[in-house]
Amino acid sequence: MHSIEKIRAAHPAPFYIYDGSILSEQASILHKTFPAFDILFSIKANPFPPLLKKMASLGIGADAASAKEVDLALAAGMPAENIYYSCPAPTREDMAQVMGKCHIIADSLYVLSLLEEAAAERNLKLAAGLRIHPDFTTDGTPQAPSKFGIDESIIWETNFIEKYPHLTINGLHIHIRSQVLDTEKLGRYYDTVLDLAVKLQNHLGTKLDYINFGGGIGKVYDKTKQSPLDFGKLQAAVSCSIDKHKGDLSAKLLLESGRFLACDCGTYVTEIIDIKHSHGKTFYIVKNGANGFFKPVLRQMLLPFRHDHMGASYEPFATENDSYDINVLSESTETEVVDIAGHLCSGADIMAKNVVVKKGHIGDLVTFNHAGSYAYSLAPLLFASQPMPQQFFIE
Ligand SMILES: Cc1ncc(COP(=O)(O)O)c(C=O)c1O
């Protein structure tokens, strides 16, 4: 609270505050659970440069989804060998921009052909990872078509790699689920990926340099509905899988995380700029709702349509069981039930409905937690040309 008031004294709301000590705590959980792994931060979750610098200082590398994210990672001090570029559909220009700055992972046969072309032009052999869309899923359900990666069945075609004589396939990347909170399923997933890596090595006849297991580490958004992963159990399961495969694999093991590392470090702070009463309802109108922190607004929009599988397919725009602690920083001892609405000309710009909060007044601040990942980077900040939220990093 102290930092919020300090920042507010010098800067108008809305703003984001990111707390570096929480990042350190989250990183240390991953480092302890996965001592044999390199941890990568999915920059799309939060590309704020001071936060990336902090990640670099914690020894965390980058999962970069664009050429710009590769540059952000390098500028933050992450070494090129810890930066992995994996974009669902990079262009020839993107490729030219990232070449030599990081590891490159091909997401399609077309991307492999672009890399082959670039390597042939330069008369050199290029290393490339493969993002594979595996035949398995995290929860044992049948696999579905996907716009991501290369279908596993294509990889097993006998002449697959002969089409790319200037490429050496040196890495495997799989990412099929975010926000997994089932420890056993996650443990089984890592084991299955290792099996696939061995099969891939045998098929290619070369050793892989890295195996990137993608994201998946879930975090609790709603304590009433979710329980955290059991990291002790997960560590035991993963170390058992690694032991089982260690005779076959010498690759670096990589994990990507956006939300687990960064979500809890962020708070969004906005301000009540009007209070309206309409047909028995009280609205606190705040600065920059959807055009500041979009995820709570998306949640309200999607609630009527939610079904069991929405969380997986709509990630990271909408997260199953998404939930926010909302606090009105008011002196009042009374509470009231209100809707919190943004100031855009859209009836959908509602951040919370029927929440019980401290009775607020115009000028009071309102805070939302869970604002460190997919928050600033996901919001339609340009809509209506309102001033954008500022961002602050504190330790
Ligand atoms: C390829 C890839 N890896 C990792 C992540 C990070 O996922 P999470 O934020 O759930 O950790 C994402 C998120 O969209 C992703 O697309």
Atom number of ligand 1 nearest to Cα 217: 11
Mean pLDDT over all residues of the chain?
95
Distance 20 CA to ligand 1 centre (A): 21
- Residue 159's pLDDT band, with cuts at 50, 70 and 90, is confident
Rg (the chain; Cα; Å): 23
Q: Indicate if ligand 1 lies below 6 Å from the C-beta of 179.
A: yes
**Dist. CA 198–CA 193, nearest whole Å:** 9
Spatial separation of the C-alpha atoms in residues 385 and 395, rounded to whole Å: 31
The predicted structure's pLDDT at residue 32: 98
Residue of minimum CA distance from atom 16 in ligand 1: 175
Residue 311 has pLDDT above 70, yes or no: no
Q: Provide the pLDDT for residue 297.
A: 97
Among protein residues, the one with the nearest Cα to ligand 1's atom 1 is: 175
Q: What is the pLDDT of residue 294?
A: 98
Q: Give the model's pLDDT for residue 105.
A: 98
CA of 178 to the centre of ligand 1 (A): 6
What per-residue confidence (pLDDT) applies to 1?
Answer: 56
Report the distance separating Cα 80 and Cα 101, nearest Å.
Answer: 6
Least confident window among 256-265, 274-283, 311-320, 326-335: 311-320
Which residues lie across from 171 on neighbouring strands?
129, 210
Asked whether residue 309 carries a pLDDT value surpassing 70, the answer given is no
Domains of the chain, each with CATH number or no CATH: 5-12+263-394 (2.40.37.10), 20-262 (3.20.20.10)
What pLDDT is attached to residue 310? 62
pLDDT at 131 over 60: yes
Verify whether ligand 1 is closer than 6 Å to residue 215 (CB atom). Answer: yes
Q: Is a pLDDT exceeding 80 seen at residue 313? A: no
- To test the ligand 1 pocket, which listed residue (44, 86, 180, 256) has its Cβ within 8 A of the most ligand atoms? 256
% of the chain beyond a pLDDT of 90: 91
Ligand 1 pocket check for 63: Cβ under 6 Å: yes
pLDDT for res 139 = 84
CB-ligand 1 contact for 291 (6 Å cutoff): no
Which of 55, 107, 178, 264 most suits a substitution to test ligand 1, by most atoms within 8 Å of the C-beta? Answer: 178
Residue 131: CB within 6 Å of ligand 1? no
Atom of ligand 1 nearest to the CA of 179: 10
Which residue has a Cα nearest atom 4 of ligand 1? 215
> Which residue out of 43, 175, 213, 263 has the highest number of ligand 1 atoms within 8 Å of its CB and is therefore the one to mutate?
175
**In ligand 1, which atom is closest to the CA atom of 316?**
14
Query: What pLDDT does 318 receive?
Result: 85
Other Cβ atoms less than 10 A from the Cβ of 350: the count is 19
pLDDT score, position 47: 98
Q: Which two tokens stand for residue 355?
A: 């929440």
What are the pLDDT digits (tens) for 36-65?
A: 999 999 999 999 999 999 999 999 999 999
- pLDDT (tens digit, 9 = 90+) per residue, 328-383? 999 999 999 999 999 999 999 999 999 999 999 999 999 999 999 999 999 999 99
Q: Which amino acid is at 367?
A: T
Average pLDDT over residues 190-208: 97
What pLDDT, on the 0 to 100 scale, is given for residue 140?
Answer: 85
Question: How far does residue 64's CA lie from ligand 1's centre (Å)?
Answer: 10
Q: What is the mean pLDDT of residues 190-207?
A: 97
Residue 29 has pLDDT above 90, yes or no: yes
Q: What is the distance in A from the centroid of ligand 1 to the CA of 42?
A: 6
